Structure 1
Amino acid sequence: MSTKVARAKARKDAAEAVHTLADAGRIVAGSTAASVGSSVSELSGTLSGRVDDARHALAEAIDPTPVKVRRAPWILAVLVLSGLAAYAWATLLRREGPADPGTPVSTTPPSTDQLHGKTTPTQPPSRP
């Protein structure tokens, strides 16, 4: 074989090797892209779910759901206690208690030195 033929065959083999390597690269890139794409979509779904969960938890912490208040027992308790208080006051007001005799009234008329039962000073107080 001559060197020209050997070089031509080597070029042909090299070109085929480059095409085969390029095809292999495309296959690897395609499978890698598909694998990465599916991983990214799974990761995106997972992150999206976690972000939604975190958002809901934060919304609950900031503005909690209103608690249902049962008002009927409280209203009933206030009415019963009001009725008991009214009954107690009525009972206490009906009961006769001891009369306060108060301050005894003087039977003697006040003298000229007294005013309404109090002694008045004869001289005005001096100022220091």
Structure 2
Amino acid sequence: MSAEATRARARRDAAEAVHTLADAGRIAGGAAVGAVTGGVSARLSDLSDAVAGSVHDARQALAEAIEPSPVAVRRAPWILAVLLLSGLAAWAWATVLRRDRAVDPGTPVSTVPPSDDQIHGKPVGQGRGQTSTGR
């Protein structure tokens, strides 16, 4: 073979080797990018889940702080206590009103007839202790 044919063949082989090397680089790069992207994607997915969980917990805590959940009120014991005390008060009043009470006889009526002074009143200036000095 001549030198020129050898060079042409070497050029073709070099070009083919460059294309093969470029293809291998693309495949290796794609695999590396896929691995990195897959790893990063998995980590980002985990991070996203953690952040979403934290954000959800923070929103729940904020909602609880702003508007707390209603407290369960036990009304039945209070209602029973009010009914019991009302019944007790009604029984006490009934007992007090039913009890025999002493009757106040009031002021006894006088058996002595009233005097003229008591009936007509006393004239002015002639009461006891007053003198007729003319004041």
* TM-score normalized with structure 1 length: 0.54
SS of residue paired to 1:69: coil
Fraction of identical pairs, as percent: 44
Question: Could you give the per-residue CA deviations for residues 78-119 of structure 1, whole angstroms, max 9, x where no partner exists?
Answer: 1111111122222223342574969xxxx7355466xxxxxx
1:39 lines up with 2:43 in the alignment: yes
Relative distance call for 1:97 and 1:90 in structure 2 (3 A) is farther
Mapping 1:70-85, distance limit 5 Å: 70-85=74-89
Equivalent residue for 1:61, pick from 65, 68, 72: 65
Q: Which runs of 5+ in 1 are unaligned?
A: 114-128
For residues 71 and 101 of structure 1, the distance between their equivalents in structure 2, rounded to whole angstroms, comes to 52
Relative distance call for 1:63 and 1:98 in structure 2 (3 A) is farther
For residues 25 and 31 of structure 2, the distance between their equivalents in structure 1, rounded to whole angstroms, comes to 10
Relative distance call for 1:95 and 1:88 in structure 2 (3 A) is farther
Q: Which runs of 5+ in 2 are unaligned?
A: 1-6, 108-113, 125-135
Question: Could you give the per-residue CA deviations for residues 2-38 of structure 1, whole angstroms, max 9, x where no partner exists?
Answer: xxx7xx7xx8688877776665444433322221111
Q: Which has the larger radius of gyration?
A: 2
Alignment length, in residue pairs?
106
* TM-score normalized with structure 2 length: 0.52
For residues 123 and 18 of structure 2, the distance between their equivalents in structure 1, rounded to whole angstroms, comes to 148
Relative distance call for 1:112 and 1:91 in structure 2 (3 A) is farther
Mapping 1:1-128, distance limit 5 Å: 24-93=28-97, 94-96=99-101, 99=104, 108=118, 110-111=121-122
